[in-house]
Amino acid sequence: MSEYKKPLPKPDPITAPFWESVKAHAMKIQRCNDTGKFFFYPRGLSPFTLSDNVSWEPVSGRGVVHAFTIVYQNRDPAFAEEVPYVVAIVELEEGARLMSTLVDVEPDPEHVRIGMPVEVVYDDVTEEITLPHFRPVRAD
């Protein structure tokens, strides 16, 4: 594993279960136990009820592109070599939305579309941190 030079998340007590699940290549996100709805980003209270009756539940890692942008310029030297790249909001099958990058797809509006089925892939960037990215679902 080469030295990773980009900014990395710093797990805290609230976000640690998410990062641990991603490290295990088995993504979990929070669910409000009062409503049954999944939500993301990690937090101590349900955004639906403001209750702390929440749990970490496994998710499929499959969803669709809800929105996207193609980054053509990035002045941060850590990212400059990778342009262009696709940043997307992915709506998981479970209903929660999260932001990530799309991989294994040409960063061109001809190849990325709203509603495109995607699946999570795990990028073990350091021994401590794994990042979730998404790729188009392969037609097997």
pLDDT band of 79, cuts 50, 70, 90: confident
Sheet holding 38-39, edge to edge: 38-39, 28-32, 54-58
| Radius of gyration of the chain from its Cα atoms, rounded to whole angstroms | 16
Residue 8, in any domain of the structure: no
What integer is the mean pLDDT of 80-109? Answer: 94
Residue 6, in any domain of the structure: no
Quickly list DSSP for 52-90: S-EEEEE--SEEEEEEEEEE----SHHHHTT-SEEEEEE
Number of structural domains (the chain) is 1
Residue 5, in any domain of the structure: no
Range of the domain at 106: 16-136
Residue 3, in any domain of the structure: no
What integer is the mean pLDDT of 98-108? Answer: 96
CB half-sphere exposure, 105, CA atoms < 13 A? 28
User: What is the average pLDDT value for the chain, to the nearest integer?
Assistant: 94
pLDDT for 138 equals 81
CB half-sphere exposure, 128, CA atoms < 13 A? 7
pLDDT band of 111, cuts 50, 70, 90: very high
pLDDT for 82 equals 83
Residue 77, in any domain of the structure: yes
What integer is the mean pLDDT of 2-7? Answer: 79
How far, in Å, CA of 73 to CA of 65, rounded? 22
